[in-house]
Structure 1
Amino acid sequence: MATPTMPPDPRGPRPRLLMCPPDHFGIEYEINPWMDVTQGSDAAIARRQWQALREAVVALGAEVELLEPAAGLPDLVFTANAGLVFRGLFLPSRFRFGVRQGESPLFERWAREHGFEVVPLPEGMYFEGAGDALFCGETLFAGYRFRSDVRGHQWVGERLGVSVLPLELVDPRFYHLDTCFCPIAPDAAIYYPGAFDEYGRSVIRDQVPRLAEVSAEEAASFSCNAVVVGRTVVLNRGAPKLAATLGAMGFDTRPLEFSEFIKSGGSAKCLTLRLDGEEAAAWKSSPAAG
């Protein structure tokens, strides 16, 4: 007897996210202003916060795939830094700091085992994946200075055949682009102006028609580091002004606690990697495109 096939989902394909359980997460070194090895993190609370995020995105319709955690790699939990997915390609990160470079072989192996074509960047370039490279519409917005470099972004743009807009990050607290900029639709994004120089701010304002500006106070609670599933934005609790702005723009918000991960310089977006691609093609078949 033939197995019946499910009818196609009228909402389009489900978003696919990669996450890594925080079994070995902790503050074991300091590579950004948020990290303090003397403060540490609470493993039990971190586990609950991670699980709440996983449950929230699944409830919103996303499919979550898991990477096995590894001892000695406490930041492996931040899968956004694994690389950049573009259609069937996976461009793995080249981390600036040696303490994170051990993550790359694990991310690359996972990608190959799951059918992606792995395309490494040339030696001598720094590129930290979807932490610093985010599509808004058909343009790749690329943060540089603290982790990634312009040469890496240029190579990525040429390899993928897409337009790249480099944006210099000027505040070390917002060392990755995804800590201060979050596309929420092909023509809309959340951003914190203070993380960019005047040129970067002008580029964003010129290129993104609808912007939800975040205050300095709410930016410090990592409210820009959000996960978008359809028309719902999952973000750190403590950003009521941003939530009101997003509501006026037609988006729902799902505030959650990420206190333990903020101690390491990450929040919701850092804990996920879009496997169906960060590019605009993912939105064209998504409820968020409406």
Structure 2
Amino acid sequence: LREVYRSLGHTVEVLVPEPGLPDMVCTADGALVVDGRVLGARSARPRREREEEAQLRWFAGHGFARLRLPEHGNAGEGDFAVTASYLLAGRGFRAGPLAHGEAQEFLGRPVIGLELTDPRRPRLGLALAVLDDAADEVAYHPPAFSPGSREVLRRLFPDALLVGEEDAAAFALDAVGDGLHVVLPRTAAAGLDAALRERGFAPVGVEIGELRKTGGGVRRCSLELRG
């Protein structure tokens, strides 16, 4: 995955897991970075606390001055998605309105709360992907959201790419888009190839292997450092 990003022209920093903390491979769950501000994660599971603290130490040691250890539970970029206009935030299984308010206050971006209703997709990163954050272009799986949230998404993103059950089950939305390419699991890339190319994106399939056991793969193991 790291080499794929580098081949596409991106700079990649490596977060080396600390001893006894193998779940640090899920870097997206550890923080959300917007405009150089780092909002840490807070899990309901005490065993994740050391991982969250370790990730904030990494940011502090790499020149990020505006850091916040949150008061309310969130799973970093696993619960949030950044577009040009909004900060989309999932709720229903993990993060809730208090976490959304905290993110809006610290990051200074308007937060749109979206109710997740499918227990197979308890985090926003499995239900929605940002394809181009400069153009507010997203893809999402409608059945993962409540009726009201589906209506909100239709209003905000009328031209969104709608993803069906088969592709969603293959982690198609656990993807990373940079406006030109969409990096996603190889099993999902075949199903969405034509739809993505029709919109001007080049799909890049990646074999996620053992990462699938984390409940994701591409996006869950990637954290964008937005300066």
Q: Structure 1 length normalisation: TM-score?
A: 0.74
Structure 2 counterpart of 1:146, one-letter code: F
Give the distance between the partners of 2:19 and 2:92, measured in 1 at CA: 29
Are positions 1:249 and 2:199 aligned together? Answer: yes
Q: Gapped runs of 5+ residues in structure 1?
A: 1-52, 278-290
Give the distance between the partners of 1:171 and 1:229, measured in 2 at CA: 27
Query: What is the aligned partner in structure 2 of residue 82 from structure 1?
Result: 30
Alignment of 1:14-163 (within 5 A): 53-116=1-64, 117-122=66-71, 125-163=72-110
Q: Deviations over 1:80-135 (max 9, x none)?
A: 1111111121110011222322211101100111111212222xx11111111111
Alignment of 1:168-179 (within 5 A): 168-179=115-126
Runs of 4+ in 1 over 4 A off after TM superposition: none
Tell me by how many angstroms 1:71 deviates: 2.8
Tell me by how many angstroms 1:67 deviates: 1.3
Structure 2 counterpart of 1:167, one-letter code: L
Give the distance between the partners of 1:101 and 1:194, measured in 2 at CA: 32
Equivalent of residue 215 in structure 1, options 159, 164, 172:
164
Alignment of 1:161-200 (within 5 A): 161-185=108-132, 186-200=135-149
Percentage of matched positions with identical amino acids? 37
Structure 2 counterpart of 1:221, one-letter code: A
Query: What is the aligned partner in structure 2 of residue 268 from structure 1?
Result: 218
Q: Give the 3-state SS of the residue equivalent to 2:214 in structure 1.
A: coil
Of residues 224-233 and 103-112 in structure 1, the stretch that sits farther from structure 2 once superposed is: 224-233
Give the distance between the partners of 2:155 and 2:41, measured in 1 at CA: 29
* Greater Rg over alpha carbons, structure: 1
Q: Gapped runs of 5+ residues in structure 2?
A: none
CA contact (8 A) 2:85 2:136 kept: no
Q: Give the 3-state SS of the residue equivalent to 1:210 in structure 2.
A: coil
